[in-house]
Structure 1
């Protein structure tokens, strides 16, 4: 792979990969490390990918697997309950993508959603991946993706309603999610 092609790949996919990594890792430094590791793995073995059109899915899948690998390694020495709360806010460009919702409130609530639901929610709503791409990225069946999106949205709605009841928001606690690419809601 030429240097120019690699640079173009990085330019195209760095920001979406970073946002996804930040939603998983919750810390800017860890997100940067995940993205850097993902591109390092691509530089070593990306040339083996037969369909160049699958590069985006391959990158997201690799990043997610690296996140899981790091989390398993960390859990050997520290339980998940002992991890510090999110230390870094998401970049303004991510908040802008929260569409018509109270972006900051949604981003904060999203960080509280269980990781098993947070990953597909982030990939679908912030990165615009299809169900199939999410299934490939997370290595789960499409039905599991749909179920996790549904449960994740329900959990997010509850969190937003609780924040609203606690007086931490000016907008309503119920969030209308955008229509799917096929026209229905999830």
Structure 2
């Protein structure tokens, strides 16, 4: 084995050790399915192995891997013919600090109910830790659209979690 191949193999092993859990959680949040998340994560590392020379700065590995994963997901998903709007009907919960304890299943269910146009920017912001401008550039949409979609996605989730809190709060008589 050549020194370059050995170095690439060691670097890929390091990337798997460091980012596998994050990428799997991100893939699961995008797809909502454990098997799809496993496939997306494995495909991400296969592409990363082939293109490892493109990663010039190890500090950008997280973003690079998340971008590969997101692009794989977007290629896999078929676009709906009619866009779904979250406008107007969603009001922000009165006190966002009073959020209920959520299970992973409850969070995933809420994310699954978000239309893809809102879910992807939200996950890019929180999982990939991308700025509004980076999301705008990656998705080729205006900055204002990114801000609007993030705000609507957050409002939707707050509304959803607020109703969960109301369902789980004991009634005092």
Deviations 1:54-104 (A, max 9, x none): 2221111111111111113xx7xxx79xxxxxxxxxxxxxxxxxxx64212
Please name the residue that 1:103 is paired with: 102
1:61/1:138 contact within 8 Å kept: no
Cα pair distance change 1:110/1:162, threshold 3 Å: same
Please name the residue that 2:113 is paired with: 112
Deviation of 1:143 after TM superposition, in Å, equals: 4.1
Please name the residue that 1:160 is paired with: 161
5+ unaligned residues in a row in structure 1: which ranges?
81-99, 172-186
Cα pair distance change 1:34/1:164, threshold 3 Å: same
5+ unaligned residues in a row in structure 2: which ranges?
1-6, 82-98
Secondary structure of 1:22's match?
Answer: helix
Tell whether 2:41 aligns with 1:38.
no
Structure with bigger RCO (C-alpha 8 Å, 6+ apart): 2
1:57/1:136 contact within 8 Å kept: no
Please name the residue that 1:17 is paired with: 23
| CA distance in structure 1 between the partners assigned to 2:128 and 2:69 by the alignment | 16
| CA distance in structure 1 between the partners assigned to 2:74 and 2:53 by the alignment | 23
| CA distance in structure 1 between the partners assigned to 2:22 and 2:140 by the alignment | 19
Deviation of 1:52 after TM superposition, in Å, equals: 3.1
User: How many aligned residue pairs are there?
Assistant: 144
TM-score normalised according to structure 2 size: 0.68
Please name the residue that 1:176 is paired with: none
| CA distance in structure 1 between the partners assigned to 2:23 and 2:137 by the alignment | 15
Please name the residue that 2:150 is paired with: 149
Please name the residue that 1:183 is paired with: none
| CA distance in structure 1 between the partners assigned to 2:141 and 2:20 by the alignment | 24
* Equivalent of residue 33 in structure 2, options 27, 31, 50: 27
Deviations 1:98-129 (A, max 9, x none): xx64212444322211222222323434x361
Cα pair distance change 1:25/1:10, threshold 3 Å: same
2:30/2:120 contact within 8 Å kept: yes
